[in-house]
Amino acid sequence: MKKIEAIIKPFKLDDVKDALNDFGVTGMTVTEVKGFGRQKGHKEIYRGAEYMVDFIPKIKIEIIVDADTCEKVANAIKEKAFTGKIGDGKIFISSVEEAIRIRTGETGKDAV
């Protein structure tokens, strides 16, 4: 099993979610996060005063998938989250040793 964590722009969430549904992804965790990378924030003007916004709002998606479908799912996220502009986000993939469903005690793929 693999864990895919994707940091994307908030307005791309619905496109990514629809693509994941097409792959049969049955569950995901979505978190509103803030951060910066090469983008380094931006300046905004509020009531005539200019101020720096250091942390940009993003969406973090976490899903667990079979190792077989991991690459296809990651490519779908990459395709749907792409705008071609700075700050499109990142995708991180890591191995998952074990999963346990608390309610039933199922383990491994059955727990996901």
CA-to-CA separations, 8 to 11, 32, 47, 73, in angstroms, rounded? 9, 10, 29, 15
Q: Does the pLDDT at position 39 exceed 80?
A: no
Q: Give Cβ neighbours of residue 15 (< 8 Å, ≥ 6 apart).
A: 80, 81
Domains of the chain, residue spans: 2-111
Q: Does the pLDDT at position 12 exceed 70?
A: yes
Q: What's this model's pTM, rounded to 2 decimal places? A: 0.84
The confidence band for 44, taking pLDDT boundaries of 50, 70 and 90, is low
Q: What's the rounded mean pLDDT across residues 15-29?
A: 90
Q: Does the pLDDT at position 56 exceed 90?
A: no
Please give the share of the chain, as a percent, with pLDDT higher than 70. 92
Q: What's the rounded mean pLDDT across residues 17-39?
A: 88
Can you tell me the distance from the alpha carbon of 77 to that of 20, in angstroms, rounded to the nearest whole number?
Answer: 8
Q: Does the pLDDT at position 103 exceed 90?
A: yes
Q: What's the rounded mean pLDDT across residues 7-16?
A: 96
Domain 2-111 class, CATH top level: alpha beta
